[in-house]
Structure 1
Amino acid sequence: MERGFIDRFEGELAVIEFEGGQFREVRRDELPAGASAGDAVIVQNDGRLSLDPEATAARKREVQRLMDELFE
């Protein structure tokens, strides 16, 4: 099982970033419904993708904290 974040969409492809700066492209239709850039994803051992709402929320809080620090 791997964890990553949806970095961006390029047409019908989603670019997922994994630890260490590794990227992988997957077809957009392989993502769960409602997936968007910035969402955390889990790649199951069988290749299925699922969203990780807790990791997504934690990352958004961290990004907001960093922005608040930067723009104080």
Structure 2
Amino acid sequence: MKKIKGIIDRFEEGFAVIEIQGGTKDCPKDIFPKDTQVGDVVYITGNQVEIDKSETKKLAKEIEDLMNEVWED
């Protein structure tokens, strides 16, 4: 079974909206670990989801660096 990498965009009425390669996909929220948060990098294989905490931290740092660059005085 194929492993899909995505980023949690938001939660809506029992679904997690996942950004995958520029598009989005709705997945049932109940397949995600309870501690899943918006912005988490996840790998989905069928109904199994794992959160990649190190990739999530790396992505958050990249976004923070870009924001600091854009908003420099």
TM-score, normalising length from structure 2? Answer: 0.88
In structure 2, the partner of 1:8 is 10
Normalized per residue, the structure richer in helix is 1
Residues 5-59 of structure 1 deviation map (CA, whole Å, 9 limit, x = unaligned): 000111211100111x121111111101200110000012x43111011110011
What is the aligned residue count? 70
Q: What is the DSSP-based 3-state SS (H/G/I as helix, E as strand, rest coil) of the residue aligned with 2:39?
A: coil
RMSD: 1.0
Which blocks of at least 5 consecutive residues in structure 2 are unaligned? none
Task: Tell me the percent identity.
Answer: 33
Normalising by structure 1, we get a TM-score of 0.89
Give 5+ residue unaligned stretches, structure 1. none
